[in-house]
Amino acid sequence: MSLTRALALVVALAPRAALAEEVVVHGKRPQPSASRRDATVASTVIPKARLERPGTDSAAVLSEVAGVQVARTGSSSDLSTASLRGATSAETPVYLAGIRINDDLTGTADLSTVPLWMLDRVEVFRGAAPVDADRAGIGGAVFFEPRLPRKTRVGAGAGVGSFGERSAWLGGGVVAPGARAAVALRSFGARNDYEYLDDGGTAAVSSDDREVRRPNADFSAYDAWALGRTELGPGARVTTVLNAFDREQGVTGLGVIPAQHARARVRRVLAGVSTRVPCSTQPGEPCVLSLSTTAIVASHAVRDPARELAIGAPEVVSRGERVSQDVALTQQLSPAVVLRVGVGQELERLRIVERRSLSARRNVSRAATTLSVAPVRSLRLTATGALACHGTRGPDQSDSCGVLTPTGRAGARVELLRGLALLGNVGHGERVPTLGELFGVSAVVLGNPALSPERGEFADVGVRAELRPGETSLLFADAFGFVRVARELIAYRRSGLGVVRPYNVGRARFVGLELTAGADLFSHLRLSSALTALDPRDTTPGRSTPRDLVPYQSRLVVASRAELYTALGFVDRLALGATSRYRSSRVADPAGLIIIAEQHVLDADVTARFWQERIGVALAVNNAFDARHFDAVGLPLPGRSLHASGELWW
- Using one digit for the tens of pLDDT, what is the confidence trace for 599-636? 999 999 999 999 888 899 999 999 999 988 777 666 67
Strand partners, 405: 388
Non-local CB neighbours of 203 within 8 Å, separated by 6+ positions? none
Which band of pLDDT confidence, cut at 50, 70 and 90, is reported for residue 25?
Answer: very low
Question: Do residues 359 and 392 touch, judged by C-beta distance below 8 A?
Answer: no
Euclidean distance between CA atoms 213 and 636, whole angstroms: 11
Kindly state the percentage of the chain with pLDDT values over 90: 47
Question: Do residues 403 and 390 touch, judged by C-beta distance below 8 A?
Answer: yes
Question: Do residues 524 and 564 touch, judged by C-beta distance below 8 A?
Answer: yes
Mean pLDDT, the chain, integer: 85
E strand intervals along 163-309: 165-176, 179-190, 195-198, 210-213, 219-233, 236-250, 263-278, 287-303
Euclidean distance between CA atoms 553 and 69, whole angstroms: 7
Euclidean distance between CA atoms 578 and 140, whole angstroms: 28
Which band of pLDDT confidence, cut at 50, 70 and 90, is reported for residue 495?
Answer: low
Instruction: Average the pLDDT over 568-594 and give the result.
Output: 87
Question: Do residues 316 and 300 touch, judged by C-beta distance below 8 A?
Answer: no
State phi, psi for 6 to the nearest 5 degrees: -65, -45
The helix (H) or strand (E) run that includes residue 10 is: helix 3-12
Which band of pLDDT confidence, cut at 50, 70 and 90, is reported for residue 14?
Answer: very low
Euclidean distance between CA atoms 440 and 449, whole angstroms: 9
DSSP secondary structure letter of residue 110:
-
Which band of pLDDT confidence, cut at 50, 70 and 90, is reported for residue 586?
Answer: confident
Residue 581: pLDDT over 50: yes
Question: Do residues 267 and 299 touch, judged by C-beta distance below 8 A?
Answer: yes
Euclidean distance between CA atoms 609 and 621, whole angstroms: 19
Which band of pLDDT confidence, cut at 50, 70 and 90, is reported for residue 364?
Answer: very high
> How high is the pLDDT of residue 127?
83
> How high is the pLDDT of residue 501?
81
The helix (H) or strand (E) run that includes residue 435 is: helix 435-439
